[in-house]
Amino acid sequence: MYPRPHFATASARLLSNAAQASAARPLRKYTASAPPTTPLSTPPSTTVAPLWVPLIAKGYRIVAGVVLIRDPQIIRDPTPFERAYFAYQEKLARAAALPFPVGFYFKKGSVAERRWKEEEAARNQAMRSPLSIQDAVREAAELAQTDEERVQQQETKIEYADRITEADRVGDMKSLDRALQRSLYLVVKKPREQHAWQFPQGGVGTGELLHQAARRELLEECGPDMDVWFVGRTPIGHYKYIFPDDYVAKDPKAKGARVFFMKAHIFAGQVRPDNDEVVDYAWVTKQELKEYVSPDYYKAVKDMLSEL
Protein backbone atom coordinates (compact mmCIF):
# COMPACT_ATOMS: atom_id res chain seq x y z
CA MET A 1 0.00 0.00 0.00
CA TYR A 2 1.32 3.46 -0.98
CA PRO A 3 2.10 6.04 1.66
CA ARG A 4 -0.32 8.94 1.71
CA PRO A 5 1.90 11.35 -0.42
CA HIS A 6 2.38 8.73 -3.16
CA PHE A 7 -1.38 7.92 -3.17
CA ALA A 8 -2.28 11.61 -3.62
CA THR A 9 0.16 11.93 -6.53
CA ALA A 10 -1.23 8.84 -8.24
CA SER A 11 -4.81 10.10 -7.88
CA ALA A 12 -3.88 13.49 -9.35
CA ARG A 13 -2.18 11.77 -12.30
CA LEU A 14 -5.32 9.67 -13.02
CA LEU A 15 -7.59 12.71 -12.92
CA SER A 16 -5.29 14.63 -15.27
CA ASN A 17 -5.27 11.80 -17.80
CA ALA A 18 -9.09 11.55 -17.67
CA ALA A 19 -9.46 15.32 -18.24
CA GLN A 20 -7.11 15.23 -21.27
CA ALA A 21 -9.04 12.31 -22.79
CA SER A 22 -12.35 14.11 -22.28
CA ALA A 23 -11.04 17.31 -23.88
CA ALA A 24 -9.77 15.40 -26.90
CA ARG A 25 -13.18 13.80 -27.47
CA PRO A 26 -15.46 16.02 -29.66
CA LEU A 27 -18.64 17.23 -27.99
CA ARG A 28 -21.99 16.32 -29.54
CA LYS A 29 -24.10 19.45 -29.21
CA TYR A 30 -27.25 17.99 -30.73
CA THR A 31 -29.04 14.70 -30.33
CA ALA A 32 -28.57 12.58 -33.37
CA SER A 33 -31.71 10.98 -34.72
CA ALA A 34 -31.79 7.27 -35.16
CA PRO A 35 -31.21 6.09 -38.70
CA PRO A 36 -34.41 5.24 -40.51
CA THR A 37 -35.29 1.61 -40.35
CA THR A 38 -36.97 -0.32 -43.07
CA PRO A 39 -40.00 -2.14 -41.69
CA LEU A 40 -39.90 -5.85 -42.09
CA SER A 41 -42.36 -7.18 -44.57
CA THR A 42 -44.82 -9.28 -42.58
CA PRO A 43 -47.48 -11.38 -44.20
CA PRO A 44 -51.08 -10.24 -43.64
CA SER A 45 -52.77 -11.74 -40.58
CA THR A 46 -55.13 -14.56 -41.35
CA THR A 47 -56.41 -15.09 -37.79
CA VAL A 48 -60.17 -14.78 -37.36
CA ALA A 49 -61.85 -13.71 -34.11
CA PRO A 50 -63.32 -16.74 -32.39
CA LEU A 51 -67.08 -17.09 -32.70
CA TRP A 52 -69.28 -17.07 -29.62
CA VAL A 53 -70.03 -20.69 -28.75
CA PRO A 54 -72.76 -21.48 -26.20
CA LEU A 55 -71.74 -23.47 -23.18
CA ILE A 56 -73.48 -26.85 -23.03
CA ALA A 57 -73.02 -29.25 -20.12
CA LYS A 58 -74.64 -32.69 -19.83
CA GLY A 59 -77.14 -31.91 -22.55
CA TYR A 60 -78.26 -28.59 -21.05
CA ARG A 61 -77.45 -25.12 -22.26
CA ILE A 62 -76.05 -22.96 -19.44
CA VAL A 63 -77.87 -19.63 -19.05
CA ALA A 64 -77.16 -16.70 -16.70
CA GLY A 65 -80.11 -14.72 -15.32
CA VAL A 66 -80.19 -11.48 -13.31
CA VAL A 67 -82.47 -10.82 -10.33
CA LEU A 68 -82.23 -7.02 -10.31
CA ILE A 69 -83.65 -5.46 -7.12
CA ARG A 70 -84.71 -1.97 -6.16
CA ASP A 71 -84.64 -2.04 -2.36
CA PRO A 72 -87.40 -0.48 -0.19
CA GLN A 73 -87.05 3.29 0.07
CA ILE A 74 -89.10 3.87 3.26
CA ILE A 75 -89.95 1.90 6.38
CA ARG A 76 -93.11 -0.12 5.90
CA ASP A 77 -96.26 0.53 7.90
CA PRO A 78 -96.53 -1.63 11.04
CA THR A 79 -99.19 -4.32 11.15
CA PRO A 80 -102.02 -4.14 13.72
CA PHE A 81 -100.25 -6.77 15.82
CA GLU A 82 -97.01 -4.76 15.77
CA ARG A 83 -98.86 -1.60 16.80
CA ALA A 84 -100.45 -3.41 19.75
CA TYR A 85 -97.11 -4.92 20.76
CA PHE A 86 -95.27 -1.57 20.71
CA ALA A 87 -98.08 0.11 22.69
CA TYR A 88 -97.90 -2.65 25.31
CA GLN A 89 -94.11 -2.29 25.56
CA GLU A 90 -94.47 1.49 26.02
CA LYS A 91 -96.85 1.00 28.94
CA LEU A 92 -94.61 -1.61 30.58
CA ALA A 93 -91.58 0.69 30.29
CA ARG A 94 -93.53 3.61 31.76
CA ALA A 95 -94.80 1.56 34.68
CA ALA A 96 -91.23 0.52 35.57
CA ALA A 97 -89.66 3.97 35.05
CA LEU A 98 -88.42 6.16 37.92
CA PRO A 99 -90.21 9.46 38.70
CA PHE A 100 -89.14 12.32 36.44
CA PRO A 101 -87.52 15.35 38.22
CA VAL A 102 -89.70 18.10 36.74
CA GLY A 103 -88.21 20.97 38.74
CA PHE A 104 -84.70 20.15 37.61
CA TYR A 105 -85.47 20.34 33.88
CA PHE A 106 -88.30 22.91 33.66
CA LYS A 107 -88.58 26.38 35.14
CA LYS A 108 -91.61 26.71 37.40
CA GLY A 109 -94.50 28.43 35.61
CA SER A 110 -92.84 28.27 32.18
CA VAL A 111 -94.55 27.29 28.93
CA ALA A 112 -92.33 24.22 28.67
CA GLU A 113 -93.49 23.06 32.12
CA ARG A 114 -97.13 23.53 31.14
CA ARG A 115 -96.69 21.53 27.95
CA TRP A 116 -94.90 18.74 29.78
CA LYS A 117 -97.67 18.50 32.38
CA GLU A 118 -100.29 18.29 29.63
CA GLU A 119 -98.35 15.54 27.88
CA GLU A 120 -97.82 13.74 31.21
CA ALA A 121 -101.56 13.81 31.87
CA ALA A 122 -102.14 12.35 28.42
CA ARG A 123 -99.60 9.60 29.10
CA ASN A 124 -101.27 8.73 32.39
CA GLN A 125 -104.62 8.61 30.61
CA ALA A 126 -103.15 6.34 27.93
CA MET A 127 -102.09 3.86 30.61
CA ARG A 128 -105.78 3.15 31.16
CA SER A 129 -106.87 3.26 27.49
CA PRO A 130 -106.24 1.08 24.44
CA LEU A 131 -104.41 3.98 22.73
CA SER A 132 -100.64 3.93 22.58
CA ILE A 133 -98.81 6.54 24.63
CA GLN A 134 -97.48 8.27 21.52
CA ASP A 135 -100.94 8.56 19.96
CA ALA A 136 -102.44 9.86 23.23
CA VAL A 137 -99.72 12.50 23.63
CA ARG A 138 -100.21 13.61 20.03
CA GLU A 139 -103.98 13.99 20.47
CA ALA A 140 -103.59 15.85 23.77
CA ALA A 141 -101.05 18.23 22.26
CA GLU A 142 -103.39 19.05 19.38
CA LEU A 143 -106.32 19.75 21.74
CA ALA A 144 -104.24 21.90 24.11
CA GLN A 145 -102.80 24.15 21.43
CA THR A 146 -103.77 27.82 21.50
CA ASP A 147 -104.63 29.76 18.35
CA GLU A 148 -101.25 31.48 18.44
CA GLU A 149 -99.43 28.15 18.71
CA ARG A 150 -101.43 26.70 15.81
CA VAL A 151 -100.53 29.64 13.56
CA GLN A 152 -96.88 29.40 14.58
CA GLN A 153 -96.84 25.66 13.93
CA GLN A 154 -98.36 26.10 10.47
CA GLU A 155 -95.69 28.66 9.59
CA THR A 156 -92.88 26.28 10.59
CA LYS A 157 -94.61 23.09 9.49
CA ILE A 158 -92.42 20.51 7.78
CA GLU A 159 -93.92 19.07 4.61
CA TYR A 160 -93.49 15.30 4.49
CA ALA A 161 -93.40 13.46 1.19
CA ASP A 162 -96.42 11.29 0.49
CA ARG A 163 -95.91 7.58 1.09
CA ILE A 164 -98.25 6.91 -1.85
CA THR A 165 -96.62 8.36 -4.98
CA GLU A 166 -98.13 9.48 -8.26
CA ALA A 167 -96.81 6.30 -9.90
CA ASP A 168 -98.86 4.28 -7.40
CA ARG A 169 -102.01 6.27 -8.17
CA VAL A 170 -101.77 5.91 -11.95
CA GLY A 171 -100.42 2.33 -11.86
CA ASP A 172 -97.14 3.05 -13.66
CA MET A 173 -95.39 -0.33 -13.56
CA LYS A 174 -92.26 1.05 -15.26
CA SER A 175 -91.52 3.63 -12.58
CA LEU A 176 -89.00 3.08 -9.80
CA ASP A 177 -90.95 5.54 -7.63
CA ARG A 178 -93.78 3.11 -6.93
CA ALA A 179 -94.30 0.74 -3.98
CA LEU A 180 -91.71 2.54 -1.86
CA GLN A 181 -92.28 0.16 1.07
CA ARG A 182 -91.55 -2.96 -1.00
CA SER A 183 -88.72 -4.51 -2.98
CA LEU A 184 -89.18 -4.26 -6.74
CA TYR A 185 -87.81 -6.74 -9.29
CA LEU A 186 -87.12 -6.15 -12.96
CA VAL A 187 -88.92 -8.41 -15.43
CA VAL A 188 -88.54 -8.06 -19.19
CA LYS A 189 -90.70 -9.17 -22.09
CA LYS A 190 -89.28 -11.18 -24.97
CA PRO A 191 -90.78 -10.87 -28.49
CA ARG A 192 -92.70 -14.15 -28.39
CA GLU A 193 -96.11 -15.47 -27.45
CA GLN A 194 -95.35 -18.08 -24.77
CA HIS A 195 -93.21 -17.47 -21.67
CA ALA A 196 -92.60 -13.90 -22.80
CA TRP A 197 -92.03 -12.39 -19.34
CA GLN A 198 -88.97 -13.38 -17.31
CA PHE A 199 -85.93 -12.01 -15.55
CA PRO A 200 -83.16 -10.72 -17.86
CA GLN A 201 -81.14 -13.71 -18.99
CA GLY A 202 -78.95 -15.04 -21.77
CA GLY A 203 -76.66 -17.87 -22.75
CA VAL A 204 -73.19 -18.32 -21.28
CA GLY A 205 -70.34 -18.65 -23.77
CA THR A 206 -67.58 -21.22 -23.62
CA GLY A 207 -64.89 -19.93 -21.25
CA GLU A 208 -67.19 -17.25 -19.83
CA LEU A 209 -68.04 -16.99 -16.13
CA LEU A 210 -71.60 -16.72 -14.84
CA HIS A 211 -71.27 -13.19 -13.45
CA GLN A 212 -69.60 -12.02 -16.65
CA ALA A 213 -72.40 -13.41 -18.79
CA ALA A 214 -75.06 -11.95 -16.49
CA ARG A 215 -73.52 -8.47 -16.64
CA ARG A 216 -73.13 -8.68 -20.43
CA GLU A 217 -76.73 -9.78 -21.00
CA LEU A 218 -78.10 -7.07 -18.71
CA LEU A 219 -76.12 -4.46 -20.63
CA GLU A 220 -77.20 -5.77 -24.03
CA GLU A 221 -80.89 -6.14 -23.21
CA CYS A 222 -81.52 -3.22 -20.83
CA GLY A 223 -78.98 -0.59 -21.87
CA PRO A 224 -76.08 1.19 -20.13
CA ASP A 225 -78.15 3.78 -18.23
CA MET A 226 -78.28 1.89 -14.92
CA ASP A 227 -75.93 2.02 -11.94
CA VAL A 228 -75.92 -1.66 -10.96
CA TRP A 229 -73.98 -3.60 -8.34
CA PHE A 230 -73.71 -7.39 -8.49
CA VAL A 231 -73.61 -8.88 -5.01
CA GLY A 232 -71.21 -11.72 -5.77
CA ARG A 233 -70.10 -14.34 -8.24
CA THR A 234 -72.22 -17.15 -6.85
CA PRO A 235 -75.78 -17.73 -8.10
CA ILE A 236 -78.66 -17.44 -5.63
CA GLY A 237 -80.93 -19.88 -7.40
CA HIS A 238 -81.33 -22.33 -10.24
CA TYR A 239 -84.09 -23.18 -12.70
CA LYS A 240 -84.18 -26.00 -15.26
CA TYR A 241 -86.56 -26.42 -18.18
CA ILE A 242 -86.85 -28.55 -21.33
CA PHE A 243 -86.86 -27.11 -24.85
CA PRO A 244 -89.83 -27.78 -27.17
CA ASP A 245 -89.49 -30.74 -29.52
CA ASP A 246 -89.28 -28.58 -32.66
CA TYR A 247 -86.41 -26.59 -31.11
CA VAL A 248 -84.53 -29.76 -30.15
CA ALA A 249 -85.00 -31.09 -33.69
CA LYS A 250 -83.21 -28.04 -35.10
CA ASP A 251 -80.37 -28.18 -32.55
CA PRO A 252 -80.10 -31.62 -30.92
CA LYS A 253 -77.00 -30.70 -28.90
CA ALA A 254 -79.09 -29.38 -26.00
CA LYS A 255 -82.37 -30.77 -24.74
CA GLY A 256 -83.00 -27.92 -22.29
CA ALA A 257 -81.48 -25.08 -20.31
CA ARG A 258 -80.21 -24.52 -16.80
CA VAL A 259 -80.64 -20.93 -15.65
CA PHE A 260 -78.41 -19.69 -12.82
CA PHE A 261 -79.65 -16.44 -11.29
CA MET A 262 -77.21 -13.75 -10.13
CA LYS A 263 -78.35 -11.13 -7.60
CA ALA A 264 -77.85 -7.42 -8.31
CA HIS A 265 -79.07 -4.06 -6.96
CA ILE A 266 -79.91 -0.90 -8.88
CA PHE A 267 -78.92 2.44 -7.34
CA ALA A 268 -79.77 4.89 -10.12
CA GLY A 269 -80.87 5.08 -13.74
CA GLN A 270 -83.57 3.26 -15.65
CA VAL A 271 -84.04 0.46 -18.15
CA ARG A 272 -83.63 1.27 -21.85
CA PRO A 273 -84.74 -1.87 -23.73
CA ASP A 274 -83.01 -2.64 -27.00
CA ASN A 275 -86.38 -3.42 -28.72
CA ASP A 276 -84.76 -6.51 -30.20
CA GLU A 277 -84.29 -9.07 -27.47
CA VAL A 278 -86.48 -7.09 -25.05
CA VAL A 279 -89.61 -5.17 -26.10
CA ASP A 280 -91.08 -4.22 -22.71
CA TYR A 281 -90.29 -4.23 -19.00
CA ALA A 282 -91.86 -3.72 -15.57
CA TRP A 283 -90.81 -3.25 -11.94
CA VAL A 284 -92.95 -5.60 -9.84
CA THR A 285 -93.20 -6.88 -6.28
CA LYS A 286 -92.99 -10.54 -5.40
CA GLN A 287 -96.78 -10.88 -5.35
CA GLU A 288 -97.21 -8.99 -8.64
CA LEU A 289 -94.71 -11.29 -10.35
CA LYS A 290 -97.38 -14.03 -10.43
CA GLU A 291 -99.34 -12.00 -12.97
CA TYR A 292 -96.43 -11.91 -15.44
CA VAL A 293 -94.63 -15.26 -15.40
CA SER A 294 -95.80 -18.85 -15.68
CA PRO A 295 -96.66 -20.86 -12.54
CA ASP A 296 -93.62 -23.12 -12.98
CA TYR A 297 -91.30 -20.15 -13.34
CA TYR A 298 -92.74 -18.43 -10.27
CA LYS A 299 -92.46 -21.62 -8.23
CA ALA A 300 -88.77 -21.86 -9.15
CA VAL A 301 -87.87 -18.25 -8.27
CA LYS A 302 -90.24 -17.28 -5.44
CA ASP A 303 -87.91 -18.44 -2.66
CA MET A 304 -85.17 -16.15 -3.99
CA LEU A 305 -87.35 -13.04 -3.53
CA SER A 306 -88.00 -10.98 -0.42
CA GLU A 307 -91.41 -10.70 1.21
CA LEU A 308 -90.76 -7.02 2.00
Report all structural domains of the chain as residue ranges with CATH numbers, in order of start: 56-75+165-304 (3.90.79.10), 80-155 (no CATH)
Percent of the chain clearing pLDDT 70 (strictly above): 74
* pLDDT tens by residue, 79-109: 989 988 888 888 888 888 888 888 888 888 8
pLDDT at 53: 86
Say if CB 293 and CB 194 are below 8 A apart.
no
* Residues 6 or more apart whose Cβ sits within 8 Å of residue 66: 186, 199, 200, 201, 214, 217, 218, 261, 262, 264
pLDDT at 244: 84
Prediction pTM value: 0.70
